[in-house]
Structure 1
């Protein structure tokens, strides 16, 4: 009996916490315009519990009270729920794959457009710009890097990195297929490093919400790896349909994992690398 009572109390506590999360996410949607309701719920829960621990809060309702009434609280929660920023050449294997796939696929296109959907910061965009430059494509390629969070978007437009990081990142750059010196792609000033203006100028930063916005252009390549992994099943299918609406025929799609047979428009894509989530739209 005691065990059943304890289990019932635990189940009730979990149900209340789920309701609190629902209300908090609804508040973020209604008050601030950022919709995380269809993100992977367990991931959202872990991130919210992390914010609560930092603020020494015992309930999600207490966090919601801060979000609604305390200046800056909503911003910190939105940042916590967003995808963590990627460092420059953070994933050299993935960068090598992008170099191989995009180098071949974009070369015949006169003016390729590449969409970094829900881009994970300047590290993500600058990595792509460097590898496209080394493939001889950047000068005629337009990179559209979009983010839903306006505050983060304002920061990345004028971002720089610690110049002392560049030597440590050189090895990752080489592992990605680079053959030069990573630091040569940066302007250095007072210990900070910024991507060269001629490379940076090929990147257009824009606000865009994958959850609510419609297709806004036709692209020869769409890349969305880290953000797509955070989405729940329904939102994932919605975004895959959006990408299909936005991708030119024979365009390249790079995502977080291989397409499943039941994924939206899965039959319209042909794998480009064996057992890796890079595809060409053929349907």
Structure 2
């Protein structure tokens, strides 16, 4: 009822064509939820719209309704749409500034925990997980730390578990690795097989890949650190608050929270956190 009321108000103000398009998007997102169980209805609407328009252009379709028909009736059509709406995979050390911050914050915060657990919530693929594993290894923390990397999309989760890198890309990534605080040679953390690069087994063993949907699932463990910067940026206001409450339930006292932007005074449990790096969005739970 609330969604229909909101659409009615929007329809009175928007041009007819845009109002129809918004209704089509509502129906498509409902179809994805009802038919496939993935809920994007409370994601940031402008972001969802841009991604869906990209899918339309790639498939040479004129309307969202035409895309919805394929999603409902064409085998495999939903998979491409779900991929487009999901968090895009990140590259290895693709954000050196964030990696430097993670080195500093986690390097100071985790040593006091006996067996730290880190949750990479809605992980952006092996690039994000392997970056974290390498910097924790270099900080001397990985051997007693377990990284839980979760992904909502089961198809993407299966692919990520078996993913590798192009071995020829490693030399080009050395500069980003050095900018992120790496002091050695990036390639030393990989084994090479048939032109592919795979993180060393002792590092991979500290990463547990699992399915978890931030939109619908409950807390599943207690963590000493929770990191989620990419998915949170995709969420609408109500969903963002739901996920921040979930993180608070899952984070141990004095644990570290790393998110996409500074917590606002009105954010869920904002008063329970103390900033760790000035204006950078890294926090310690103190309540």
TM-score band by shorter chain is over 0.9
Tell me how far apart the structure 1 counterparts of residues 114 and 83 of structure 2 sit (CA, whole Å): 38
Q: How many residues align?
A: 276
Q: 1:199: which partner in 2?
A: 203
Aligned-partner SS, 1:262: coil
Tell me how far apart the structure 1 counterparts of residues 204 and 160 of structure 2 sit (CA, whole Å): 11
Which portions of structure 1, spanning 4 or more consecutive aligned residues, are displaced by more than 6 angstroms? none
Within the candidate set 14, 18, 23, 1:19 is matched to 23
Q: 2:4: which partner in 1?
A: none
Aligned-partner SS, 2:264: coil
Residues 216-261 of structure 1: CA deviation (Å, up to 9, x unaligned): 0000000000110000000000000000000000000000000000
TM-score, normalisation: structure 2: 0.95
Tell me how far apart the structure 1 counterparts of residues 102 and 27 of structure 2 sit (CA, whole Å): 40
Q: 1:3: which partner in 2?
A: none
Within the candidate set 40, 47, 50, 1:46 is matched to 50
Residues 87-117 of structure 1: CA deviation (Å, up to 9, x unaligned): 0000000000001000000011110000000
TM-score, normalisation: structure 1: 0.96
The answer to which of 10-19 and 105-114 deviates more is 10-19
State the Cα distance separating 1:86 from its structure 2 match.
Answer: 0.4
Within the candidate set 74, 78, 91, 2:82 is matched to 78
Within the candidate set 255, 280, 285, 1:281 is matched to 285
Tell me how far apart the structure 2 counterparts of residues 61 and 98 of structure 1 sit (CA, whole Å): 43
Tell me how far apart the structure 1 counterparts of residues 148 and 121 of structure 2 sit (CA, whole Å): 8
Tell me how far apart the structure 1 counterparts of residues 54 and 199 of structure 2 sit (CA, whole Å): 33
| Distance change >3 Å, CA 263–CA 60, structure 1 → 2 | same
- The reply on whether 1:37 has 2:41 as its aligned counterpart is yes
Within the candidate set 138, 141, 145, 1:137 is matched to 141
State the Cα distance separating 1:124 from its structure 2 match.
Answer: 0.3
Within the candidate set 101, 106, 114, 2:105 is matched to 101
Structure 1 unaligned residues grouped into runs of 5+: 1-7
Tell me how far apart the structure 2 counterparts of residues 73 and 104 of structure 1 sit (CA, whole Å): 46
